[in-house]
Structure 1
Amino acid sequence: MVRLRFAPSPTGFLHVGGLRTALFCWLYARQQSGKFIFRLEDTDQKRLVEGAETDLIHMLEWAGIELDEGPEIGGDFGPYRQSERLEIYRQHVRKLLDEDHAYPCFCSTERLDNLRDEQRANGETPRYDGLCRRLKKEESAQRVASGETHVVRLKIPEIPETLVLNDLIRGRVSIETSQTEDQVIVKSDGFPTYHLAVVVDDHLMQITHVVRGEEWLPSFPKHLLLYRYFGWDPPEFAHLPLILNPDRTKLSKRQGDVAVEDFRDQGFLAETLVNFISLLGWSPADDRELFTLAELIEEFSFVRVNKSGAVFDREKLNWMNQQYIQNLDQQDLVRRVAPFVAKTVYAEQDMDLLEKAVKILQPRLVTLAETAKRLALFFDEDPQATDPEVLSLLKEESSKLVLAEFIKQLQTIEKLNEENLGSVVKNVQTVTNIKGKNLWMPLRYAITLEAQGPDLKLIVDLFGREKCMRLALNAYEL
């Protein structure tokens, strides 16, 4: 049975890159009738953020990614928090020490800083010089027994060799062990570093495929050596390409949103974000761009994941979200916009009017959050235009002529709706001799208050004669 894991650190929000890693793991696990495991890598106690674990799980659930094993769910391979597995790591470190694959290092932070500074000054790559590796085992043991502060380092082979990884995405990858220093695998506080814990956990939890970002490629020699020293077969590896900003720099918060919860709070659907994220690096066999989760499970393969970085195209995300919103059932859309409406002054007002407003707005909505921003038009008695483009056009002389005649025409009829709007506007055209966009745009801008507003006929049908006349008068008096 295939077993894949997502193992974030509880140090903050769920990054979209993390969501992609979790998604690809989950898709493959589901496709192969395997298991998807959530493991918490919380050994860096200084960086823990309260509530981060709950938030990480909640955002995965929001995205539709179900967990098979994890801290709260349990399973046959727990505990699933690394901070609860310290005794397991100690046992494995003792094995490495006993078999001379690791050693205690007593070097102070000051000595290591001075060493790196000296190496940089000489044009060398900063790395540990192996001072404590040369200590006799008896001396090391005595110093450890006396309580002297130390870390534990992994021994990299003294005779350089080439380690080879057959990556599911990149094929054959080779790195010389000479490029790797004696890595710290246990910190001075007794907690393991990522490199030790991840290997031990992946083996004991029977992980068959490790999926992670390409930034971890330089670490694979350390991990393969640990597998060798323990006498274990390594799992399959797949190193995903970076997610990039439009300028092809690594995606970062400095250039925009990167937290999954930010996109949720802006009104992006979970289905949209998952679909969009799936296409960052992976490409389907055909040109399709819209996929349900079930379709992604069927189509996904690591063979079709690219090696090169994938650009996070916000415009494409907007387009995709609009497609998904347009295809929602109206009641489903009303339910989804409810949390955004609840934060406005229109919360708990006329539900029937809200449903009608949502129906009219739906074709042009890019995000759910936009609904709340556009409700003033429907609920306020006297909504005002604020768009500079709208205000500019409404102040033009030809717009004044159209609006003045439109108001006169409204005064001659008892009601205004979708059916008779065309004849009213035709009368305005006849009197003013203004046609085309110069005729319709002032009316659209005056009544919808937007340059790219909803369907004018639907708005008129909902508002009726009185409100349309008030809006036209407001526009005329600008």
Structure 2
Amino acid sequence: VVADLVEQGKAYYSFATPEQLETFRNEARREGTSPAYDGRYKVSPAEAQERLANGETATVRFAVPRPGETVFDDVVRDEVRFDHKQVDDFVILRSNGTPTYHLASTVDDVDFAITHVIRGEDLLSSTPKHILLTQAMGAELPTYAHLPLLMGPDGKKLSKRHGHTALAAYRDAGYLPTAVVNYLALLGWNPGDDDTIVDLSTMIERFELDRVSKNPAIFDVTKLEWMNGVYIREMDQATFVETVTPLVESDLGRELDARERGVLSEMAPLVQERAKTLTEIAPQMRFLFADISYDESSWKKVMTKPDAGRALRAARGVLVDLDEFSTESVEAALRGMLESEELNPRKGFQPLRVALSGSSVSPPLFESVAALGKERTLARLDAAALAIDDAS
């Protein structure tokens, strides 16, 4: 391709030195003209061949027609014009014989008969170069669509400083593929009907390039978390349990036995309705299957309050006498305890939550007590009450 372009006079060997190019740019700045290199240091084909024969190396530059302009219709940005004063005689082959991106990309597009080039707007300035190359090769131009860039919440181009930028990182952080696809599709595109939750088949059916916005889209992790939570809640229970079981087992470092799998199936819907990411689930359910340690901030916030010890002892007093240890009987007993002790739910129940799960954030209290069972519940209440006494 390069040899053909040189032979046709559409490209040329360039011996321009870095010093010459810097001189050109400095003069352009002083004169207020375009710094795009216009080929002024180009030598004749005969001189080029002689210098190459003598062992000199050279790049190959595309000879941009001057004067002139490249005009094309972009599906997203409508008509786009580039005056050739702003397009340099760009390098298509380096002095070591390797092609540049502009040449390799364009030749690939031509060879594979690419019909649509869809890419970020940061490559918009490369498009006139690719169009000129395509035309010089005598090929049909593809349709171009330059999409708006993704921005962080601060309005700057999305980068690692805003958080993860790799899909694998979001998978590892507990985001469902369906939620991520949904969220990414809505960045700069409107499916219509003010829909936010849109499945893949509907996206495929509705998607049109001309409905992509020209304006940059903001990548908001908070909104992604919300959408991921919607998708988690919409999972049927069997699928949810199947999804989280290996996460719980990995967190524990062992497999669950048959009884524990039953407990997981019973408690999973209570966690499912609150979770925003899958990674939240195993830590919240760990207390059901393993010994606990107290979260320092939860202990300080809850267990240092004057009524914490009293609430634990009063709860133990009503739970120890229960013959049936069900969610309903536990709730009735503990609500009766609040009334007799004249404690509000925050003062009476939060100490129980920390005592039983180690954290102030856990699944619903009554269901948690029933799932732990009487023996473990009483043992953890005693241990927490003793810890409070030791600290006072």
TM-score, normalisation: structure 1: 0.74
Q: d(CA) in 2 for partners of 1:414 and 1:140?
A: 100
Identify the residue that residue 232 of structure 1 maps to in structure 2. 139
* Residues 252, 290 of structure 2: 8 Å contact kept: no
Q: Secondary structure at the match of 2:253?
A: coil
Verify: 1:365 aligned to 2:275, yes or no. Answer: yes
> Are 1:102 and 2:11 an aligned pair?
yes
The structure 2 residue matched to 1:405, chosen from 314, 319, 336, is 314
Q: Give distance in 2, aligned partners of 1:362 and 1:459.
A: 14
1:165 aligns with 2:165: no
Larger of the two Rg values belongs to structure? 2
**Corresponding position of 1:211:** 118
Partner SS for 1:406 = helix
- Corresponding residue for residue 379 of structure 2: 470
Q: Which runs of 5+ in 1 are unaligned?
A: 1-91
The separation in 1 between residues aligned to 2:231 and 2:167, in whole angstroms, is 18
RMSD, aligned CA: 2.5
The correspondence of residues 421-436 of structure 1 with structure 2, limited to 5 A, is 421-436=330-345
The answer to whether structure 1 residue 379 and structure 2 residue 286 are counterparts is: no
| Closer, same or farther: CA 341–411 of 1 in aligned 2, 3 Å | closer
Confirm whether residue 141 of structure 1 aligns to residue 141 of structure 2.
Answer: no
| Residues in 2 aligned to 1:376 and 1:425: alpha-carbon distance in whole angstroms | 23
Q: Find the counterpart in structure 2 of residue 419 from structure 1.
A: 328
- Aligned mates of 1:127, 1:388 — CA distance in 2: 60
Deviation at 1:109, TM superposition (A): 4.5
**Alignment correspondent of 1:275:** 182
Residues 6-29 of structure 1 deviation map (CA, whole Å, 9 limit, x = unaligned): xxxxxxxxxxxxxxxxxxxxxxxx
Take 1:354 and 1:125, find their aligned partners in 2: how far apart are those partners? Answer: 70
How far is the alpha carbon of 1:169 from its aligned partner? Answer: 1.1
Are 1:346 and 1:379, in contact at CA under 8 Å, matched by a contact in 2? no
CA separation of 1:188 and 1:374: change in aligned 2, threshold 3 A: farther
- 2:174 alignment partner AA: G
> Which position in structure 2 is the counterpart of 1:246?
153
Number of residues of Structure 1 aligned to a counterpart in Structure 2 = 384
Question: What is the identity percentage for the equivalent residue pairs of Structure 1 and Structure 2?
Answer: 34
Of 360, 364, 369 in structure 2, the residue corresponding to residue 451 of structure 1 is 360
* Equivalent residue, structure 1, for 2:58: 150
1:351-386 Cα deviation digits (max 9, x unpaired): 6525633614322222222233334312213x1221
- Cα deviation per residue 1:140-187 (whole Å; 9 max; x = unaligned)? 12333444222111111121x232221111111222111111111112
Please give the secondary structure, in 2, of the residue aligned with 1:273: helix
1:448: Cα distance to partner?
3.7
- What SS class does the counterpart of residue 325 from structure 1 fall into? helix
Partner-residue secondary structure (3-state), 2:273: helix
CA distance in 2, matches of 1:268, 1:355: 25
Matched, 1:348 2:255: yes
Report the CA distance shift for 1:168/1:413 in structure 2 as closer, same or farther (over 3 A).
Answer: same
| Distance in 2 of aligned mates of 1:460 and 1:213 | 54
CA-to-partner distance for each residue in 1:234-265, whole Å, 9 max, x for gaps?
11111100100001100001221101111111
Query: How big is the shift at 1:222?
Result: 1.0
Query: Do structure 1's residue 316 and structure 2's residue 223 form an aligned pair?
Result: yes
Cα gap change, 1:452 to 1:95, in 2 (>3 Å)? same
Corresponding residue SS for 2:307: helix
Corresponding residue SS for 1:364: coil
Distance change in 2, residues 1:118/1:408 (3 Å) = farther
**Mapped contact 1:169–1:302 kept (Cα < 8 A):** yes
Q: Match of 2:373, SS?
A: helix
Measure the CA separation in 2 of the matches of 1:310 and 1:333.
31
